[in-house]
């Protein structure tokens, strides 16, 4: 005698998943769940950028045409970081200080160069 397969019953249809086959929904996270909120992280990055640009501007202050745009960008980043964040403000203030120092050195070098050129009789 040969066994004939039984037709599938409606309770055990192979294409319909059972409740046990469906994975649970992933948890939803909110901004309050994270340890650091996004604006604080962005402000921290802006503070780092401001300090880095200020340092680069100070290093390049012997070339005022290169240092001035970096110093201005540093001050803008620092101001944005200070407005966005109520926490630590060391890096934005460091960026502003380095930028002001770079601008002052650049202006002094330009004034010295112009005076030396005028004394030697050379013109632009």
Q: What is the dihedral of CA 60, 76, 52, 104, to 10 degrees?
A: 40
**Residue percentage of the chain with pLDDT more than 90:** 46
Structure tokens at 44: 């921290």
Q: How confident is the model at residue 25 (pLDDT cuts 50, 70, 90)?
A: confident
Rounded to a whole number of angstroms, the distance between the first and last alpha carbons of the chain is 113
pLDDT of residue 51: 94
Q: How confident is the model at residue 24 (pLDDT cuts 50, 70, 90)?
A: confident
75-120 pLDDT, tens digit each: 999 999 998 876 678 999 999 999 999 999 999 999 999 999 999 8
Kindly report whether the global pTM for this prediction surpasses the value 0.85: no
For 44-61, what is the mean pLDDT?
Answer: 93
Q: Are 71 and 105 in contact (CB under 8 A)?
A: no
């Amino acid at each position: 005698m040969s066994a004939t397969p039984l037709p599938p019953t409606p309770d055990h249809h192979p294409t319909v998943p059972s409740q046990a086959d469906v994975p649970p929904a992933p948890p939803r996270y909110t901004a309050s769940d994270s340890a650091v909120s996004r604006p604080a992280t962005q402000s921290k990055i802006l503070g780092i950028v401001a300090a880095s640009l200020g340092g680069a501007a100070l290093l390049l202050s012997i070339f005022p045409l290169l240092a001035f745009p970096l110093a201005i960008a540093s001050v803008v980043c620092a101001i944005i970081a200070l407005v966005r964040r109520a926490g630590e403000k060391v890096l934005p203030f460091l960026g502003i200080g380095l930028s002001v120092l770079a601008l002052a050195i650049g202006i002094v070098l330009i004034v010295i160069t112009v005076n030396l050129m005028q004394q030697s009789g050379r013109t632009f």
